[in-house]
A and B are shown apart, each in its own frame.
Chain A
Amino acid sequence: MAMRDLVTGAPSCGEPSSSSNPLGALANALIGSSSKTQVNLRGGPMVWAWDFHVGGLKFETPCQRKQGERLKEIPTSVTTSSNGNFLAGVEEPFVSLPGSEFEHPLQPNIQGSQFLQGFRSADQNRLADAWDEIQRPQLPFAHGSQNMTNIPLEHARLQPDLNGPPQQVLSSFLHSFVNSGHGGVPFRPASLPLLGLSEGDKQCIRDRSTIMARHFFADKTEDFINGQVNALLSSLEIDNHVRARGPVPGRYPELEEYWNESLAMKPVPHVADGWINEFAQNRVGHADPNAWAQSFEQQHGSNGWASEFEHEQSQLGMIGQMRGANIPNLAAMEQTRMLAHTLAQNSDPKFQNSKFLQFVSKMSRGEISIEENQFKPATISSGDWAAEYEQQHNGGQSWADQFAHEEARSPFTLMFVRFIYCFQLSRGPQGWVNEFSAERAQHGSVNDEWVSEFSKLNVNDDWADEFGRQVAEGAFGETSADGWAEAYDEYMNEQAALKQQSDASRGVYVFSDLNPYVGHPNPLKEGQELFRKGLLSEAVLALEAEVLKNPENAEGWRLLGIAHAENDDDQQAIAAMMRAQEADPANLEVLLSLGVSHTNELEQQAALKYLYSWLRHHPKYGSIAPQEQPISFYHADVAGLFTDAAKMAPEDADVHIVLGVLYNLSREYDKAIESFKTALELKPRDYSLWNKLGATQANSVQSSDAILAYQQALDIKPNYVRAWANMGISYANQGMYEDSIRYYVRALAMNPKADNAWQYLRISLSCASRNDMLEACDSRNIDVLQKEFPL
C-alpha cells in the first residue's frame, strides 16, 4: 500500500537531513498537535518554543533505526480510516470502503467563499495575489513553474517539486507549505498528481495543518493562516468545510477563540477550563480516546514529527512563538530561566536527588500536571495514554516530555517546564547552555528582536547582567541551590493549603471533612459547651454541624466565628461572621468581631465599615451616626464618632474597645493601649480584651509588656490559641527565637490548623538555626515538635 510507504518514509529515508522523512514526519507533526490541542491550548506557542530545545537533543536518532520501529507499528488501512473518522467527529459523512475516498470531490464553491471571506478582511496586496492564484486552483502545474521564474530566488524553494512518485510529491509539497512561512509569502496551490490519500490521511492533514499553520505562521494574521491552509488543502483535494457543515465539531471555534486570545497577549486565567470541558465532552462523544491515541501512534511514527518541527523551528526562530505567548509572564519566565540555568550548573548530588528534581522528572513523565497553579496527578486517560506510549516506543521519554508541555497550562507551569528542561539538558550530553548559545549564533537577528521585545517588557537588563556576573563569581553557591529546593518543598506545602485558603480569602466558609458532630441531636448546645470548656477545635466542629443543620442560625455562625478567631484563624472567622451578619445584620458582637478581624488582616476599609455599623446599630449611640451610610469611610470621622460616644457613656467598656481597635487601625498605638486599659478596668475578666491590649503593645514594640498581658489572658482562658501564638510572635520579635518556637508549638498543638503559626514557626526555626526541625514543621508533625520543644 502506497500510504504505508508514505508514512514510514521507506523510499526517501536515504536522504541525509533530519527531515529525511518529511511526509511521515509532517503528518506526524500535524497529528501530534491536534491531540495536543485537545489537552492544551493556552500557552501553546511557548510550548512549541521549548519543543525546539528538546528536539535539539532528543530526536537525533538515525533514521534507519526509527524506520524499523515504525514499520512494526503501521496498521492496516482500515485502522487508518476509522481513525480518521474519529478525528472528524460524527458529522463527517465517512465512507469506509477502500478506494471510495477518491470519489470525494472538491467543493469549490463553499470553500471558495469561505476563503474569499478570509481575504476580504485583510487589505494586504499579497493576499490578493494569493487569491488570484487560488481562483485558478485547477491550473496545470506548468503554470506554477511559469510563476516560479518571477519569484525572487529565496522564494523559489517554496515551489515544490511535483514530479516523481506520490510520496515524494506530497513530501515536497508539504515542505513547501512549511517553508512558505519563512518569507511570509502566501502558499501557492498547485495541481498535484493523484496521490491516493485515504480519507483518514486527509483528515489528519487537514486537522494538523490547521493547527500547525498557526505555529508556523504565528506572526501572521488569521486570514493569512486560513489562506495558507486552504491553499494547501485545496491542492491536496482535501475539503475543508468541516465548519461549513451544520453543527460544528467544537474543537475549531474553541481553537480560534483561544488562539485569538493568546494573540491579544492578555493573560486569560481560565481558558484551560474550557479545554478541559471540551476534552471531557470529546471523551464522552467518542467513548475511547485511548483508541484514537493508539491508532494514531500505530499509524505514524513517534519522533519524526518532532525532529521535523525542530528543524523548522530552527529556521523560523523563536520570535513567532514568543509573540503568541503571554508577554507579562514571559518577563518573569525570562528571569526564572536565568536562575534555572544557574541551578542546572549545580552538581551537588544532594540537590540532584532532591524532591524538586524528583518532581521535575515525574512531571516530565506526565505523572503530574498542573492546573490553575495546583499540582494534580495526571488524569486517568492521559496517564494511560502516556503509559501506553511508553510501552510502544523506546522514545517514550521524549514524548512524555512533550506531554508535560501539553499539560502545561498555567503560566506558572510553563516556568516549571523551563526548569525541567534546564535540568534535563544539563544532565544530557549537550548542555542547554550550548544549545542556547548555538542558537544565538545561528539566529542573531531573530534573537536581537527577541531580546528587544523583552527589554520592552521591563525585564531588567541590569539584573540579567548582574546575575551573569554573580554567577561567574560563584555568588550563587551550593547553599542557594538548597534554598531553591527548599523553596520548592515549601511550595508543595503551600499548594496543599492553597485551595482552602483561596476559598476562605474570598469570604467563603470552608467546612471540615468528616465531621463527627454531623447528625448530633443538638450540635449548638454541644458546641457552646465545648467552647466554654475551651476545646476550640472541637467546638468548631460541633458548631459547623449546627450551621449545616440550621444555616440561618446567627448564634451558631457567631460562636463559630469567635471560636475561629480565638483559634487564630481570621479568614475563617471572617467567613463565619459574615454568615452571622447575613442572618442577623444588627448583632453588635458580630459587627465588632468583623471589625477586629479585618483590622488584623490590615483591611482598613472593611474594618471601618463594620465598626461604623456597630455604632449605627447600637441602641444608645445609633443616633450619633449620620443616617446616610457613607460610601467610603475616613478613619478620623469614625474615630470622632466613637470619641463622642465615649463621652456620652464613659462607663461603657465596649465603646473603649472599639476605640482601641480604631486606633490600632490608624497605628496610634499609645491611644489604643489607653483605650484598652480603660476598658479593662471595666471588664477585667475579658480575656480577649487582655489579648487585644497585648497585641497592641506588641505591635508598638513593647513586647515585654505584651507578654504580661497575654499571660493575663491565658490565666483566664488557658486554651486561647491566639494568645499562645501572640506570645510566640512577641518572643520572635525580640529575637528570642528558641522561646518563640515553644509558644508556637504550644499553639499548634491546640490547633494544628493555625496556618499563621506554622508559617511563623518555620521562620523561627530558621532563625534559631534549627533547620533539623524544618521537615517536621513542613510535614506538620506536631508530635515531633512538641517532644523537641516542650514548654
Chain B
Amino acid sequence: MAETSTQLKSDAIFDQLKLHLSTDAGKELIKKIGLVYQINIAPKKIGFNEKVYVVDLKKGETKEGPYEGGKPDATFSFTDGDFVKIATGKMNPQIAFMRGAMKIKGSISAAQKFTPDIFPKPSKM
C-alpha cells in the first residue's frame, strides 16, 4: 500500500521528460530556457505530502528531491492531477494560477517560461 500511495501520475511525465531531454528537441529546450525549476507535486492538496522534482533546464536533467545547486529560478506547487493537466496542455498555467491550482515562488520572468511545450506529450495506446 505504501508503494502504491506514492505513485503519482506526474511520475510518468517526469520520466518521459528525463528521456526527452536527451533528444535534440530536448536540447533545444536547454538552449531556449536555460533555467532551473523545482516542482512540488502533492497527491491531493498543495503543501501536503509533496514529492519534489527538479527540472534543470541548464544541465538537462530531471531529478527527484529538492534542488541542491542553490536556489531554483522558480518553484511551483501543484496537485498531481493539475500538474498533469498543465503538462498535457489541458490547463493553461495562467488559469491554473488564477484558480489557485498553481503556486509560484521565485522569478516571474522565469515562471513565465514554464509552458506546456517543455513536456513531451504522452502517446496513447
Contacts and interface: CB of A to CB of B under 8 A. Distances in A.
Interface string B10-44: 00110110011011110010000000000000000
A483 interface: yes
Interface of A: 328-329, 331-333, 335-336, 339, 411-412, 415, 458, 460, 462-463, 466-467, 470, 475-476, 480, 483-484, 487, 490-491, 494, 568, 570, 596, 599-605, 632-634, 661, 664, 667, 688, 691-692, 694-696, 698-701, 703, 706, 722, 725-726, 729-730, 732-735, 755-756, 759-760, 762-763, 766-767
A703 B112 CA distance: 28
Contacts of A333: 100
Interface string B114-125: 011100111111
Given A332-B99, A463-B104, A706-B123, A733 B25 contact: yes
Given A415-B98, A487-B95, A470 B105 contact: no
A467 B9 CA distance: 31
12 contacts: A332-B97, A335-B103, A460-B105, A466-B106, A568-B124, A602-B122, A695-B124, A699-B16, A726-B124, A733-B121, A762-B89, A767-B117
Interface residues of B, number: 46
B84 A602 contact: yes
A411 B100 contact: yes
Per CB-CB distance, the 8 closest pairs between chain A and chain B, nearest first, are A332-B100, A735-B25, A487-B94, A759-B89, A695-B123, A602-B9, A698-B123, A692-B125
B88 A756 contact: yes
A494 B19 contact: no
Contact of B112 (A462, A463, A480): A480
Contacts of B121: 729, 732-733, 760, 763
Nearest to A471: B108
A306 B31 CA distance: 55
Contacts of B16: 699, 701
B117 A604 contact: no
Nearest to B108: A470
A460 B47 CA distance: 13
A332 B47 CA distance: 13
Interface in B63-79: none
B120 A733 contact: yes
A491 B3 contact: no
A483 B89 contact: no
A466 B107 CA distance: 6
B34 to A, nearest CB: 16
B7 A604 contact: yes
A475 B110 CA distance: 10
A667 B125 contact: no
Nearest to B122: A699
B109 A470 contact: yes
A688 B125 CA distance: 8
B49 interface: no
B108 A701 contact: no
B59 interface: no
Contacts of A732: 121
A458 B97 CA distance: 15
Contacts of A691: 125
A412 B125 contact: no
A483 B97 CA distance: 13
Given A335-B104, A466-B106, A412 B99 contact: yes
A722 B125 CA distance: 8
B74 to A, nearest CB: 9
B117 A763 contact: yes
Contacts of B88: 756, 759
A2 to B, nearest CB: 51
Contacts of A487: 92, 94-95, 98
A328 B117 contact: no
Contacts of A661: 125
A734 B9 CA distance: 23
A103 B24 CA distance: 89
Contacts of B106: 462-463, 466
Nearest to A764: B117
B9 A603 contact: yes
Nearest to B4: A632
A484 B94 contact: yes
A462 B12 contact: no
A756 to B, nearest CB: 7
Given A726-B123, A762-B89, A763-B116, A328 B100 contact: yes
B28 A699 contact: no
Contacts of A331: 100
B89 to A, nearest CB: 4
A391 B52 CA distance: 57
Contacts of B25: 733-735
A93 B11 CA distance: 66
Contact of A600 (B91, B94, B125): B125
Given A470-B108, A632-B4, A762-B89, A570 B124 contact: yes
Contacts of A634: 3-4
A696 B103 contact: no
B93 to A, nearest CB: 8
Nearest to A484: B94
A475 B12 contact: no
Given A604-B4, A634-B3, A335 B97 contact: yes
A596 B125 contact: yes
Contact of B89 (A460, A722, A726, A763): A763
A701 to B, nearest CB: 4
A699 B20 CA distance: 9
Nearest to A601: B9
Given A332-B97, A462-B106, A701-B16, 10 more contacts: A333-B100, A335-B103, A460-B104, A463-B105, A475-B108, A476-B109, A484-B94, A494-B91, A605-B7, A733-B23
